[in-house]
């Protein structure tokens, strides 16, 4: 009996990368009539979280997973930043990955491996088994374009002055160096910076680059990437987005949330979320931790008396919120977001304008893209003296985006509605993202 085509996918540790990988895999198997099987091989530096397990336990029949043996945490220095910790974990998992791919190759018709950007060190595994290799870039095309030109920027020394700007192919506005992703803001001798540059050089060695975006959202950047592929023989680029969750996996707060939202007038609610790991500084909000620790009661992070003062006007959920359902609810008028790419795409798909409050990673870059290029968000200004965003400034931008009185604000609402419609078209039959997706899968099936 002929074996189904098998694709191995290697997400990096963390829900923000696992979720789009899972949604992408679902689309692969669901749109190809069970001709393709997907296996996740997942590196980890700790026990899987309950959220991770809840996602993996409801995978469709043609998707399975193996959580690779946990790396020895003692092999990782205690002072590593998050990006380096994830990269080191993926690298230390290479022997386990090699063993898993050996087994998978003997049991299935394995034809390709799809890597996360943090697991590029595993490229040699694909080469050894003569498999096609792809990067699934879970962020946007502008960041991918930046990553591809990073080695050149490094050689030119363009990133050493935070007050300068750099031009990125396919983006109509220059980016201030200080707004670039965190890893490239380290000293050039720093391990995180060095790996980021080396990772960018490695991108050209893959057979293809899959990116979670669509033409109407980042058309200029996608065109620049296609042009680079044709003129410089760089990997083929497949814009297949928007790939988002269609429903939230956690159900614990869903009914409380939705019941409260049902009582609110249309477009009257501001939804605020800083993602799975984002927090504000102690001065900005009474808290200074990020993926370091957690108080027993998350509400203790809020200013004293906050819940009592706001209980007649708002609702605070202390753990996971069903974000997809919330953003799709008619009472939501705007989204105050940390500008993570998953949240951006979910907001765009549901036609919700944003208030950009970036915190870390590539989020400052995303905020510039949202406010100055795509123009579907507003961003509060930082006070020059304190370095904080004053409450009056936050109130100002909230009022602006919720009430939308002037022409610029009305244009934001119109543009996000148009992008929402375009997102649906992109992944529908004959849409731009669906065509890119189909060409990629056809390549896998014809091997």
CA angle 31, 32, 36 (to 5 degrees): 125
Structural contact between residues 133 and 185, judged by C-beta atoms closer than 8 angstroms: no
d(CA 326, CA 358): 21
* Joined tokens for residue 319: 């753990």
Q: Mention every residue, 6+ apart, whose C-beta is less than 8 A from residue 161.
A: 177
| Annotated active-site residue in 17, 37, 329, 413 | 17
d(CA 135, CA 127): 14
Task: Return the sign of the alpha-carbon dihedral for residues 147, 151, 157, 158.
Answer: negative
Beta bridge partners of 6: 37, 110
Q: What are phi and psi of 168, to 5 degrees?
A: -115, 130
- 116 belongs to the catalytic site: yes
**DSSP structural state of residue 115:** E
d(CA 13, CA 109): 26
| Annotated active-site residue in 64, 75, 98, 116 | 116
Pick from 403, 382, 422, 401: nearest CA to 336: 401
d(CA 179, CA 155): 19
How far are the Cα atoms of 131, 209, 210 from residue 116, in angstroms, in the given order? 16, 10, 10
Strand-by-strand arrangement of the 208-211 sheet: 63-67, 36-42, 5-10, 109-115, 132-137, 208-211, 236-239
d(CA 403, CA 296): 37
* Joined tokens for residue 7: 């694709």
CA angle 368, 267, 412 (to 5 degrees): 30
> Which residue is it, tokens 């993570």?
340
Per-residue 3-state assignment (H helix, E strand, C coil) for 367-405: HHHHHHHHCCEECCCCCCCCCCCCHHHHHHHHHHHHHCC
Pick from 356, 326, 244: nearest CA to 16: 244
d(CA 45, CA 48): 9
Catalytic residue numbers read 17, 116
């Amino acid at each position: 009996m002929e074996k189904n085509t098998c694709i191995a996918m290697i997400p990096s540790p963390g829900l923000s990368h696992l979720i789009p990988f899972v949604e992408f895999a679902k689309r692969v198997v669901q749109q190809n009539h069970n001709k393709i099987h997907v296996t996740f091989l997942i590196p980890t530096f700790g026990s899987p979280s309950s959220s991770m397990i809840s996602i993996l336990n409801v995978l469709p029949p043609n998707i399975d997973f193996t959580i690779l043996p946990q790396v020895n945490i003692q092999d990782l220095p205690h002072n590593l930043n998050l990006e380096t910790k994830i990269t080191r974990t993926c690298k230390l998992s290479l022997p386990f990955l090699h063993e898993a791919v050996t087994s998978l190759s003997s049991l299935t018709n394995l034809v390709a491996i799809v890597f996360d950007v943090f697991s590029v060190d595993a490229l040699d595994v694909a080469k050894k088994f003569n498999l096609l290799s792809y990067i699934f870039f879970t962020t946007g095309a502008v960041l991918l374009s930046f990553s591809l030109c990073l080695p050149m920027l490094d050689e030119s020394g363009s990133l050493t002055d935070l007050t300068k700007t750099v031009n990125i192919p396919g983006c109509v506005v220059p980016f201030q160096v200080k707004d670039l992703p965190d890893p490239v803001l380290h000293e050039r001798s720093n391990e995180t910076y060095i790996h980021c540059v080396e990772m960018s050089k490695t991108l050209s060695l893959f057979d293809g680059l899959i990116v979670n975006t669509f033409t109407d959202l980042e058309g200029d950047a996608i065109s620049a990437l296609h042009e680079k592929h044709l003129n410089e023989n760089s990997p083929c680029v497949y814009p297949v987005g928007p790939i988002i969750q269609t429903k939230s996996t956690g159900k614990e707060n869903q009914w409380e949330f939705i019941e409260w939202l049902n009582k609110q007038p249309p477009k009257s609610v501001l939804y605020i979320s800083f993602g799975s790991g984002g927090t504000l500084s102690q001065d900005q909000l009474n808290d200074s931790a990020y993926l370091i620790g957690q108080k027993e009661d998350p509400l203790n992070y809020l200013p004293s008396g906050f819940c009592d003062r706001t209980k007649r006007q708002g609702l605070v959920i202390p753990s996971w919120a069903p974000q997809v359902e919330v953003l799709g609810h008619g009472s939501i008028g705007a989204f105050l977001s940390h500008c993570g790419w998953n949240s951006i795409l979910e907001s765009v798909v549901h036609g919700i304008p944003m208030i950009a409050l970036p915190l870390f990673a590539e989020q400052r870059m995303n905020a510039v893209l949202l406010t100055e290029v795509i123009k579907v968000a507003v961003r509060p200004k930082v006070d020059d003296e304190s370095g904080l965003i004053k409450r009056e400034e936050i109130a100002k931008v909230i009022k602006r985006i919720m009430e939308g009185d002037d022409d610029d604000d009305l244009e934001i609402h119109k543009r996000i509605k148009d992008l929402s419609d375009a997102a649906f078209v992109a992944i529908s039959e004959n849409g731009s993202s669906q065509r890119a997706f189909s060409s990629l899968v056809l390549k896998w099936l014809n091997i």
